[in-house]
Amino acid sequence: MSQSLFRNFNLLDPRWDEARGGYEVLVEDGLIKEVSNGPIKAHDARVIDGGKRTLMPGLIDCHVHVFLTEVNIRHLEAIPLTLMTAKSAELMRGMIDRGFTTVRDTGGADWGIKTAVESGLIPGPRLFISAKAIGPTGGHSDSRRRTDYQPASCGCCNGMVYVMAVADGADEVRKCVREQMRQGADQIKIMCSGGVASPYDPLDSLQFSEAEIAAATDEARNFGRYVLAHAYTPEAITRAMTNGVRTIEHGNLIDDTSAQLIKAKGGYMVANLVTYFSMKERAAQFGMTAEMLAKNDIVLEGALRSLEICKRAGVKVGYGTDLLGALQVDQSLEFIHRAKVLSPLEIVRQATLVGAEILQQEGKLGVVEPGAHADLIAVDGDPLKNLELFLGQGKHLPMIMKGGKFHKNALK
């Protein structure tokens, strides 16, 4: 039995409105055993003195791509799976270094990389995987160049084939969804509108039909899973939500009516602002094309407004980043961009409580309570007063614990 006792911290459980002093937290065998506003007796526990720092749940990023290791994802055509895996390991270490103890991969990560993390072979956050992202011919998941008339036969030497799938018609979509779940997917990713990083599909294109979306959501539901949809426009959002999709990814061009539909259906939006700001600033140097950057400018214009619309409609919004390759170092900047619209407490809740709801892990992640996973971070100050404490690639996080094991501990 392994025990760690955290004391002399200000505890920030995101269900509260502020960090509270005088609490102690006992961790045992990977779970939170006890939370008390008085001393906890645990004679065999390792005592961690917080020095009045803030103790809070680990952060949750609900939209990452650990296998999209290139900013211009077309470059994955020349990346073998072995190299992509090695690069992925570096990206995941960066995520947990920044305090993100859980991430939802929205296309690309497979059961192998998830198992490698779970077994301790690779340091990284706990992964909720979608396997391959699924879209129609000519859509956001179609990785072919215009000169390609047949799909590549193998993903071993072409990373694009490994992270995306193409399916047409309800029956083909249903089969493809079943295959992703056979491969261990925790949720299913589909494409309902055009994308920035795909060169041939307009942003406002409507991709999967209603019948195709309904087939995906029905099959996922049959398996005890759910569907998330890449969708930018009100039309794409509406088509997705009326056919059983649970979470909308991006949603930059959302309007009041489509936001009210998400609310009425009990759905979620996972916004990701930072990727558009970072791509505008630096993506060209990593090979992103002018056509892609022009589409980026369109969705960037609606990014902050989308948060305002969702707040007005009462839509729950998860914390997501969607950064590609080398831009993933900007993951924590999402806090700063959201602060232009939302309060620090609202953003922290999005990166903990709402994230746990999206992952269907209420009471297990995003909170500090008995029975929850012992995913905890210590912060050099109060993040509700200074969100910049999340910046610096984790330099203000002297302690990071995932599943009761220290990823980092500079406290005595």
**Each residue's pLDDT tens digit, 157-188:** 666 666 889 999 999 999 999 999 999 999 99
Q: Token pair of 153, please?
A: 């036969």
**Band of residue 124 on the pLDDT scale cut at 50, 70, 90:** very high
Mean pLDDT along residues 297-303: 91
234 and 204 both lie in a single domain: yes
The pLDDT value given to residue 22: 93
The pLDDT value given to residue 78: 83
Alpha-carbon dihedral sign for residues 125, 127, 132, 134: negative
Mean pLDDT along residues 193-203: 82
**Band of residue 192 on the pLDDT scale cut at 50, 70, 90:** very high
48 and 63 both lie in a single domain: no
Mean pLDDT along residues 209-215: 98
The pLDDT value given to residue 157: 61
Min mean pLDDT across 80-89, 94-103, 144-153 is at 144-153
Beta pairing partners, 364: none
CATH code: domain of residue 46: 2.30.40.10
26 and 72 both lie in a single domain: no
Q: Is the pLDDT of residue 340 over 90?
A: yes
Q: How many CB atoms lie within 10 A of CB 256?
A: 12
**What string of DSSP letters covers 156-184?**
SS-HHHHHEEE--SHHHHHHHHHHHHHTT
Residue that is written with structure tokens 């809070």 in the block: 56
Mean pLDDT along residues 101-130: 97
177 and 194 both lie in a single domain: yes
**Band of residue 201 on the pLDDT scale cut at 50, 70, 90:** confident
Q: Token pair of 324, please?
A: 């590609």
278 and 177 both lie in a single domain: yes
Q: DSSP 3-state assignment of 217?
A: helix
- Domain count within the chain: 2
311 and 381 both lie in a single domain: no
44 and 94 both lie in a single domain: no
AA identity, residue 34:
E
Asked if residue 278 lies in contact with residue 326, where contact means CB atoms within 8 angstroms, the answer is: no
The pLDDT value given to residue 139: 76
Mean pLDDT along residues 76-95: 92
Q: Is the pLDDT of residue 154 over 70?
A: no
The pLDDT value given to residue 77: 81
316 and 388 both lie in a single domain: no
Q: Any alpha helices (H) in 199-323, and if so which ranges?
A: 210-222, 234-241, 256-264, 274-282, 290-313
Q: Any alpha helices (H) in 72-131, and if so which ranges?
A: 81-97, 111-118
CA distances from 13 to 55, 161, 353, 372 (A): 8, 42, 9, 12
Contacts of 302 (CB under 8 A, 6+ apart): 252, 253, 254
Min mean pLDDT across 64-73, 122-131, 230-239, 381-390 is at 64-73
Q: Which helix (H) or strand (E) holds 338?
A: helix 333-338
Q: Is the pLDDT of residue 155 over 60?
A: no
Q: Token pair of 83, please?
A: 């190299």
The pLDDT value given to residue 404: 97
Mean pLDDT along residues 300-304: 92
Instruction: Note down the domain range covering 372.
Output: 3-58+367-409
Mean pLDDT along residues 258-282: 96
Cα of 318 vs its chain's centroid, Å: 8
The pLDDT value given to residue 146: 63
Rounded Cα–Cα distance for residues 58 and 51 (Å): 19
CATH code: domain of residue 68: 3.20.20.140
Average model confidence (pLDDT) across the chain: 93
- pLDDT tens-digit readout, 379-402: 999 999 999 999 999 999 999 999
Asked if residue 307 lies in contact with residue 338, where contact means CB atoms within 8 angstroms, the answer is: yes
CA distances from 79 to 76, 148, 160, 210 (A): 5, 18, 8, 34
398 and 273 both lie in a single domain: no
193 and 338 both lie in a single domain: yes
The percentage of the chain sitting over the pLDDT mark of 70, rounded to a whole number, equals 95
164 and 229 both lie in a single domain: yes
**Band of residue 195 on the pLDDT scale cut at 50, 70, 90:** confident
**Band of residue 309 on the pLDDT scale cut at 50, 70, 90:** very high
CA distances from 287 to 68, 162, 328 (A): 14, 21, 16
**Band of residue 156 on the pLDDT scale cut at 50, 70, 90:** low
64 and 45 both lie in a single domain: no
- pLDDT tens-digit readout, 218-268: 999 999 999 999 999 999 999 999 999 999 999 999 999 999 999 999 999
